Structure 1
Amino acid sequence: MTNRLIRNYAASGIVLLSVALAYIFRLIGRGSFYPTLFSYLRSFIYIGVYAAWGLSVRQRIVQKQVRRYLTSVSVLLILWFVFRSAKYFIFWQPIPIRYLWYLFYLPMLFVPMLALLIAMSLGKPDTYRLPGSTAVLWLISGALLLLVLTNDLHQLVFTFPQDAALWSDTNYGYGIGYFAVIGWQVLCGVAALIAMLLQCRIKNGRRRLWPVLPLAISLTYLALNYAGMPWLKSLLGDVTAFQSFMYMLCFEACISCGFIHSNSRYGELFAASVGTSAEITDQDFSVCYAARNTEPISLTTMKRAVNHPVPTGNGLTVHTMPISGGYAVWTEDVSALLAVKEESESLAEELKERNDLLRYEYKREAKHRKVEEQNRLYDLLQSVTQTQIDRIAVLTQEYRMTSKTDPAQAKTLLGEIAVLCSYIKRRKHLTLLADRDYKVAVSELERAVSESLQTLKLLHVRCTLYMESGDPMLSGRTAAAIFDFYEQVIEADLEHLQSVQVSLTNAGTLRFSLYLCCKSDLSALADRPGVRYESEGEDDYQCILFFPEGGAP
């Protein structure tokens, strides 16, 4: 026998024992041995039973709206017994007694109506709210209760003899309003039970007919009470005690057979669960419910899983979640995830090795390309200045031979070497710019030519410079071509050069002009494209024009 069944049997036994004890107190109270005391004790027992039942439904019922309605039912049953106790044992004035009797119909009208609202709420989510049209039920029940409470004005519910000195529940008749009240109760109760039967998912078994029995007994009691059977109250008690208990039994039968969903059938749920590994434990991790074929989990593992999931050796991970009164424990099969993780780690390691190899090859290739680029640039720089380098080597040799014997000649040689070195220095910078196809400022070309002219003054050459191109930027190749042409003209007769005038202008066409005074004939330079030679008509003065972007106009 499961713990749930033991608890259910114990609760049922306590309720039956309480009702039996109340019945015994009723029999004792009918005698002369402390009748008031035992009547009070009987009322307290019923009130305690209904209060305990109301607390239990708040813990057992899942849906919020149904739970709220059932709690209201328990409150109405308690009020019913409070009104009864006040009527029989507290008040003795006729008018308060009569109105307490009228108040009996507050629970008698609203409990069946709440049963119908419960039936309409079953199977709905927690956020569900009944439609506004159900307000009609509240209006009808309220109107019938108002009809009962105002009976002294019209006597449509209870009639009293005209010659009666006191109106009381010991001498009265029934009016048409009474049958409307009873009819409304029966209609709501039967409609609620039919709605629950139609919505119930349990299609087989006699258990689904359990709520019919207390309802049938209740209706039979009402019929016999209306017929005026004298033995009925002596045997079963007054309407309040009997009907309130039947109401509670009817609702409890609806819960037990599954009409009203509760969380008290965990044992059946877990017993029917296949393919899961869930368990419910108490605070000490003693298993209360467990699904079928659940692998046992050690107490130590469950306690450790409270703080964090605990992996086991067979690819499972134990999880624990605190719940009311204990813990929910389940296992998660992570073997597939572990396999994927291992494969991912292996692939990551392989990719890391491959990336390291590719990174090494990339660095090696980059280094190789860097060396190649450096060699290329070195070769390029050497190729454009090789003539001057060779010339410097020759002049250096001559300087060594004449430095001691002919100081004047040695000084001239040093001047020529300075001119060549100035060109090499500036030409290498222009070479790098031209190789990358960068733009060169005219001022950069001006500084290169100016530095060369400054070194020419070491050879006592008169120099002037004027540059105005109209465009502050030149292409690297154009600037290099202009500087190369300048150096070629200067070196053509460097030993006998007396003066040089350099200008760069742009009058629609970029023009580089050199006016020189030297002994050598420079007309041979005009053979190259874009060069024009002009003679000044005077001895040793010559003009050479260079058009780097097109040619002589």
Structure 2
Amino acid sequence: MPSIVLAEGKETGIYYFRESWIQDQELLKATFPADPLIPMQSNPVHYLRRGAKAVEILDIGLDHSGKEYHLLSLYDLIPVLAVNRDTTKAEITGWSDLNKYDLTVGIDSNSDMLLLGMSQGLDKDWRQIEQSKKLMQDLHTRGKLLFSGNQGFTAGKLPDVMILFDKQARALQASGANLEIVFPSEGTVAFPVALLSKKPLHLDTTVLQAKLSEAVYQADRNVTNRVKKIDSDYYAAVIRAESMINRELIKPFRPLRTNKYENSISYVILLCILGTMGTYFYFRVSDPVLRRYTMAVFLLLCFWIIIRMARLLSGYEGAVHRYTWYLYYVALLYVPMLFLWIALHVDGRISPKRMEGVKKGTFAIASFLLLLVLTNDLHEWIFVFEDDTLAYRHGNLMLLIGLFYAVFVFVSAIILVKRAIAMPNKTNLLIPVSAILALTLYTVIFVLFLNNKIATELTRAIILFVLLIFLSMVQFGLIPLNTKHGIIFQHSNASMLIRDLDREIALAPKNESAYRFYVRKEQPIRGGTVIWLEDRTELQQLFDEEAIINDKLEENYRILQKQYEVERDLQTTHAKTRLQEQITSHLQADLQNLDHAIRDIESGTGEIQKRKLSIATLELMRIKHSSHFLMVYLMEGHIQVENFLLSIQAITKLAQGMGIRCDFTDNMQGYLSFDSADRTLAWLIHSMKQALEHRVEIGFYLQTKVDVLSTTLYIEKKRIDKERFEDLFCRFYHQNEQINTRILTSAYFYAARLQEEQVRI
């Protein structure tokens, strides 16, 4: 909250914060006599970043003030008590004396910072303001508390005691007021003011301080023990507490003095009210055209509130500020247009063709004016900004928008009033007209005397004004709701009647309908009961047709399911037959090979015959178990791993009888296909036959995962080390933690090569 802001801009001129209560033009002219004074309305640091040489601010403790910027202290602002000795002789020494005497107490408009001085003196802590709050409440209760307004206090008319900054009090003294400046004995605070610049300022500080003293900015005082100098860190904490000070101390006496978060909360409440009212009208307005117009009005008002909240919370700088401001006119232009449409539709004397022409013409005018507002940065015909600041004045074309608004609202009001006068029950006019007049009077008074928050308050006032107009039209019967049962149903063909509280018929249907299927319903209404028959004939026909279609679909589904089962059985039978033929041919070939092998055995002698006999025995075992697997698979559709392992164990025992050492462990579970079982068995027999023929040592293990059976055969030229083989298996096991089943079969022979194979289960 800068007390005053000035800046020397890129273009010659000294900018100052024109909304401040400090009238510092004389000081500025004396300090910078060659430059014109230009009002501004923005953050002072924003001007530094855009090229200004210096700005005057309160020491708010910028984090980068010691690095990027330079500060030159000017003067302090101290909250004090100014006693009017023309009206009172009371001995005032501190804040607590304000309640000891029957005095009128005035306080400046910037009361938040002034009251921080009071809270520091009475409560000693700006976070606990109970004593300060109680003192102000007592003054207000006794009617002794006055606020200065925007113009401040003048020497001709002053209260008994004023809470002012010391500079203000000295300025009033200089203008002829008989004031005694009292630094409260309990204590107060000092707000330091300094010049902030990017480069060190080359000013004659002696001359500057002399000018400050001449302009009653400084005076000699020996009260340093009563004044707490607020440094940067403390002042930052004070600024964070500002909203609490406003709520707890200022708002009870100045309800329009609110911060942006409190304004946003009030807008949220308005948004909820609009949503509730809009939903109510959507379901209760019986005329579909009026329902559409009403919904458009309420949606535009909700849009206006949301844009207003976004502007409040996003700050007041840059393009976002301007364009959220421009978007206000979406509602401000289209809502009067919709009011005219509603008034003409309610009046009912304009033809549909002319109504369409009026709608197109008014929409084109409102859209054209909105386009001018949204493109204002290109031409500034609506708002003219001063020297690239937020200070502005209205352009010439702003008159068109005001004329558009006034004409549309006036014409709509005349049409609706004439229509309302023609309606019965003219006593209904009393409540809404009184409310609208009261709201209008409040708006006029607010504009004349409290315009410091006019934009914020008029937003609420206009929205409440619109709500009252809609409620008035409903009260007059201009907008028909479905509570007016007679108006809605007297031109209807519905089979219904209305009975009063005595069950007598108040409204009978024009024609009786003989429904084949119907539901009788009864609903209490204001003043009686409405009874109607709801025709279900057409709905029942749709249900019957849907039932027939569902029966046909179920029959088709059963036929298709039977066809699918037949085809599946045929495919399964065909696959099993083809597999049986294929395996039979392989078995015949294997039997022929076995027969040749037996004949070769007869031709051999000694060790050769023994080895050939072992090979033939292994081949016979493969044929036997393979045939067994085929029979099991054809009967059950799969082969259990337990049965497969039994065959492996039988072959292993046979191999041990032939002198082959086999160590076999397993804990396998699950199922195998015939193909995977047959190929694994063939590979095992093939490996044993190689071991008998070539005298090699073989190490292998079988591994089954979820869907893969892996058989790995390790054959090396040198003798396989058992510990190395088991270590290899353990590493494989840890890398495959999701393994369901394991087979470890070890046999030791001599080997000459390495193989690996995976079979899909």
TM-score range, shorter chain: 0.3 to 0.5
TM-score (norm 1): 0.41
Q: Which has the higher helix share?
A: 1
Question: Structure with the greater relative contact order (CA < 8 A, sep ≥ 6): 1 or 2?
Answer: 2
Structure number with greater Rg is 1
